[in-house]
Amino acid sequence: MARRQEWFQKLAFRRAISAAADRDGIVRLVYRGRAAPLSAHVTPGNRPWVNQSIPHPRRSLAEARRLLAEAGFSWKGDGTLLDSRGEAVEFSILTTAGNSPRTQTATILQDDLRQLGMTVQVVPLDQRALLDRVLQSFDYDAAVMALGTPDADPNPEMNVWLSSGKTHLWHLGQTQPATPWEAEIDDLLRRQLVAAPYENRKRLYDRVQQLVADNLPLVCLVSPNLLVGGRVGLVNFRPALLENHTLWNIDELAWSAGASGAR
């Protein structure tokens, strides 16, 4: 496990995985086009906070191979990827059993990385077992997971992005930042807590998103669309991104005159 961790600790390795990930394929095959590819952790639907200057992620196996070669990886004659010690690059991806989109996503990643010469095993686990490995025992190589937030504002996410956060997934239990970019994120998040007006907070949080996109502590993949429906004739039906998606303005909902089921 220590050897595999060495691979993921290399920025070039993480960037190679990100470059190989077919996000558009995941959107098309897993979500039937009803999702958006991600280059950082803020979704396009969060318009007040998303950093629009971060480029749309583009798949490039050539770029992935270049990054791996620069990081000391090489390939056998049969295409198998080898690390600097000459050992084959093999690891597992945990995913949630029974969650079809995540399992399908992990399977697509498995094929994407096979094209780089990596051997990847997809391991479905029940949610409790997966969380135990990720948050308690650390007995895993990689995992396909989802991050959610109850608010569009950045502050509820600080438990993930602060180096001291309880769900700082890539390095739990830190007492201080392990890298300069983590220290910068800590500083930016604390400054935006008290910055005013909104434009100043936005500028600080844009930088946080850029640091995440540059350093890839998590490889962000896609954000599924929110799909809701309402019966014809329902007036003032305005779905929202945050919960409750359809009933947040329940005091305004009404049936138009003559609509089926109106009352």
Residues 253 and 206 in one domain: no
| Shared-domain flag, residues 7 and 100 | yes
Report how many domains make up the chain.
2
Asked if omega into 244 is within 30° of 0 (cis), the reply is yes
Helices 11-20 and 61-70 sit at what angle, rounded to 10 degrees?
Answer: 170
Prior bond of 197 cis (ω within 30°): yes
pLDDT digits (tens, 9 = 90+) for 70-95: 999 999 999 999 999 999 999 999 99
Does residue 109 share a domain with residue 20?
Answer: yes
Range of the domain at 258: 234-263
The whole-angstrom separation of Cα 134 and Cα 24 is 27
The residues, any chain, with a CB within 8 Å of residue 232's CB and separated by 6 or more, are 259, 260
Q: pLDDT class for 177, splitting at 50, 70, 90? A: very high
Specify the pLDDT at position 240.
85
* Residue 31: pLDDT over 60: yes
Q: H/E element holding 158?
A: helix 158-161
Mean of pLDDT over the chain: 93
- What average pLDDT does range 233-238 have in this prediction? 92
245 and 133 within one domain: no
Tell me, yes or no, whether 44 and 74 share the same domain. Answer: yes
- The maximal CA–CA distance of the chain, rounded, in angstroms, is 75
Domain of 88, CATH number, reads 3.10.105.10
Is the separation of the CB atoms in 24 and 196 below 8 Å? no
Claim to verify: residue 262 and residue 202 sit in the same structural domain: no
| pLDDT at residue number 260 | 54
